[in-house]
């Protein structure tokens, strides 16, 4: 039975240790019969950990990245397997390794997952080995360095820029790219159906990619009213979000008043905004810096965001 409503987040080793252990004990010690001595090692507290949680905040999956670039302890509770949780954990750790500037990552996988990791670009190195009666294969994958752009120093708040009117889709492209490029760590979007003609445009997607790569722990938060219309269609922004899952969060409204919200907008954390009163029409207004109006929109977004549920439909399928 398919289950949804999970998220991947960084784990605080001291705070989340009990939750990490609950998953790892179940997956590795109980299910795979790995001895506690083999499963627990001296570098655990030095690693970068991620944890998957369901919508009730219960831990359902774990993974970690060592300082030397070894991914390990990727485990998902039995009832959550084949939901994409494992692949989301792996992608998040690979992305972290790239941001750390690691040249390659390594892992040791059970033989039954060999083909899965090979499809992702991993190659077997060395001979198979046994651990507590389980056969494993060591694998590695080189990482292409991320081309980081030097971000400008934070400048004092600039003078407000009066609102400008926009009357068609073409006029929206450049302001959209500008707001994404100017963002420091947060971009918030409210959209009816992820607007392929706008958010799927090549230059707009590239701007999102550079934001995800270069911002420190930056995140694009997107509320999508209608996910059904995206089914079976290729969307470059969805593809990007699947490759960089820690930089994108999608939610869907569940209350009627939010589902019937008629406007669409994009805001950043530099007081810039784009706003359309009627989402179906590319007629609206924008400013790269108008703090009072941006704050009003952000407060509305935050209220709706808290009422929404996580959307997992755009996650890549996998383990």
Matching CATH topology for 6-142 and 164-310?
A: no
Q: Which CATH architecture has domain 6-142?
A: 3-Layer(aba) Sandwich (3.40)
Per-residue pLDDT, averaged over 155-182, amounts to 91
Q: How many CA atoms lie within 13 A of 90 on its CB side?
A: 23
Q: Which residues pair with 48 in a beta bridge?
A: 65
Per-residue pLDDT, averaged over 294-303, amounts to 95
- At residue 138's C-alpha, the angle toward residues 137 and 141, to 5°, is 125
Contact by Cβ (8 Å): 38, 281: no
Q: What 3-state DSSP class applies to 263?
A: coil
Report the pLDDT value the prediction gives residue 1, as an integer from 0 to 100.
43
Distance CA 312, CA 319 (A): 14
Report the pLDDT value the prediction gives residue 255, as an integer from 0 to 100.
93
Distance CA 298, CA 317 (A): 32
pLDDT of 142 strictly over 80 = yes
- Per-residue model confidence as pLDDT tens digits over 27-83: 999 988 888 888 888 999 999 999 999 877 899 999 999 999 999 999 999 999 888
Report the pLDDT value the prediction gives residue 318, as an integer from 0 to 100.
35
Q: Bigger pLDDT: 219 or 246?
A: 219
Contact by Cβ (8 Å): 58, 14: no
- At residue 280's C-alpha, the angle toward residues 235 and 267, to 5°, is 70
Angle between helical axes of 236-243 and 202-214 (0-180°, round to 10): 20
Query: How much is the pTM?
Result: 0.56
- Per-residue model confidence as pLDDT tens digits over 72-126: 999 999 999 888 898 899 999 998 999 888 999 999 988 888 888 888 889 999 8
What's the CATH superfamily of 164-310?
Answer: Endonuclease Chain A (3.30.870.10)
Res. 4 pLDDT band, cuts 50 70 90:
low
How is residue 150 written in tokens?
A: 């030097």
Per-residue pLDDT, averaged over 191-210, amounts to 96
Angle between helical axes of 169-182 and 202-214 (0-180°, round to 10): 10
Q: Where are the domains of the chain?
A: 6-142, 164-310
Distance CA 250, CA 227 (A): 10
């Amino acid at each position: 039975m398919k289950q949804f409503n999970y998220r991947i987040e960084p784990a605080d080793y001291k705070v989340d240790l009990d939750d990490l252990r609950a998953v790892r004990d179940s997956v590795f010690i109980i299910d795979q019969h790995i001895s506690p001595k083999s499963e627990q090692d001296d570098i655990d507290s030095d690693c970068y950990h991620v944890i998957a949680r369901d919508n009730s905040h219960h831990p359902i999956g774990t993974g970690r990245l060592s300082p030397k670039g070894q991914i390990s302890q990727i485990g998902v509770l039995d009832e959550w397997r084949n939901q994409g949780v494992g692949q989301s954990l792996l992608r998040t750790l690979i992305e972290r390794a790239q941001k750390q500037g690691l040249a390659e990552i390594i892992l040791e996988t059970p033989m039954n997952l060999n083909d899965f990791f090979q499809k992702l670009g991993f190659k077997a190195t060395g001979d198979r080995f046994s651990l507590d009666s389980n056969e494993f294969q060591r694998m590695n994958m080189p990482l292409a360095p991320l081309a980081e752009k030097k971000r400008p120093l934070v400048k004092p708040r600039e003078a407000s820029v009066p609102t400008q009117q926009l009357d068609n889709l073409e006029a929206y492209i450049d302001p959209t790219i500008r707001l994404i490029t100017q963002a420091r760590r947060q971009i918030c979007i409210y959209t009816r159906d992820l607007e392929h003609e706008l958010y799927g445009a090549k230059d707009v997607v590239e701007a999102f990619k550079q934001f995800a790569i270069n911002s420190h722990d930056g995140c694009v938060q997107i509320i999508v009213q209608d996910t059904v219309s995206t089914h079976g269609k290729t969307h470059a922004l969805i593809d990007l979000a699947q490759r960089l899952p820690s930089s994108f969060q999608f939610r869907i409204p569940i209350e009627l008043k939010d589902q019937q919200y008629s406007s669409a907008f994009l805001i950043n954390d530099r007081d810039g905004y784009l706003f359309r009163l009627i989402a179906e029409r590319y007629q609206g207004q924008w400013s790269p810096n108008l703090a009072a109006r941006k704050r009003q929109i952000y407060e509305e977004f935050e209220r709706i965001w808290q009422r929404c549920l996580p959307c997992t439909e755009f996650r890549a399928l996998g383990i």
